[in-house]
A and B are shown apart, each in its own frame.
Chain A
């Protein structure tokens, strides 16, 4: 049963704490992406990775970090430097980053900073 999983579904964090959001895919996709979604706004790209051990900043990378040590995993760390981290975080993957390959999304993680 192929797909993308994200955990946890809901996450609560105190101000000043770092948290790591998990994203795993078994689709054998090369490219993976992290987006955040805020109410009334489109998805905004945080980071993306086209291949293992390589990743690039998206449009709103400040306060976030990622790693891509394995093809199937692309965890996102929300650091205390992120000023407004409460949002819906979505991970996606695609066969390749170029061309018109479809991006498939995981179910998302809702992060709330208390």
Chain B
């Protein structure tokens, strides 16, 4: 079983739609969680950290469910510019390494 698993997609949605991605992680001792965004052939960039109480940044909402060991990302009012691969990232049990999911592809179409 992979340490971090994501649905690869692609998710094809129209502009203005709401879309949600889930990610599951296997290590119950994980403490830090992130969503990164990666555009085609570019480097990953931090989208947002995920806090235990859930957090929001504009159109983006991240949630953490420790009991079920999953993280979610909700994007409201999708824009064409949201088209990218979204990487779920978990800080490993040794506290030093990040473990990356393979990513979920989002395509927003007009």
Bitwise interface map of A from 73 to 114 toward B, beta carbon under 8 Å scored 1, else 0: 000000000000000101000000111101111111010000
State the interface size on chain B (CB cutoff 8 A): 23
Q: A44 to B87, alpha carbons, bound, how many Å?
A: 13
Chain B residues with CB under 8 A of A42: 4, 87, 99-103
Complex: how many Å from CA A98 to CA B95? Answer: 6
Instruction: Give bound CA distance, A98 to B101, whole Å.
Output: 20
Query: DSSP class of A's interface residues: helix, strand, loop or mixed?
Result: loop
Residues of A bordering B, CB below 8 Å: 35, 40-45, 48, 50, 56, 58, 88, 90, 97-100, 102-108, 110
Q: Which of B14-22, B44-52, B64-72 binds A?
A: B44-52
Q: Does B43 contact A (CB under 8 A)?
A: yes
B30-64 interface with A by 8 A CB criterion = 31-32, 34, 41-46, 49
9 new A-B contacts at CB < 8 Å, known A40-B8, A41-B102: A42-B87, A42-B101, A42-B103, A43-B98, A43-B100, A44-B100, A90-B43, A90-B44, A105-B43
Cβ of B110 within 8 Å of any chain A Cβ, yes or no, is no
Tell me whether A48 and B45 are in contact in the complex, defined as CB-CB below 8 angstroms, given that A40-B8, A42-B102 are known contacts: no
Is B1 an interface position by the 8 A CB rule?
A: no
Q: Are A97 and B4 in contact (CB under 8 A)?
A: no
Measured between C-beta atoms, what is the minimum distance from B85 to chain A in Å?
10
Q: Chain A residues near B87 (CB, 8 Å)? A: 42-43
Cβ-defined partner of A100 (8 Å) among B8, B31, B44: B31
| Contact of A105 with B44 in the complex, beta carbons under 8 Å | yes
Known contacts A42-B87, A107-B43, A50 near B96 by CB under 8 Å: yes
| CB-based contact A100/B91 at 8 Å | yes
List A contacts of B99 (CB < 8 A).
42
Bound: A50/B34 CA distance, A: 21
Closest Cβ neighbor of B97 among chain A residues: A45
Complex contact B96–A97 (CB within 8 A) = yes
Q: A48-B96, A98-B95 are in contact. Are A107 and B42 (CB under 8 A)?
A: yes
- What 5 A-B pairs come out closest when comparing CB atoms? A42-B100, A105-B43, A100-B32, A43-B100, A42-B102
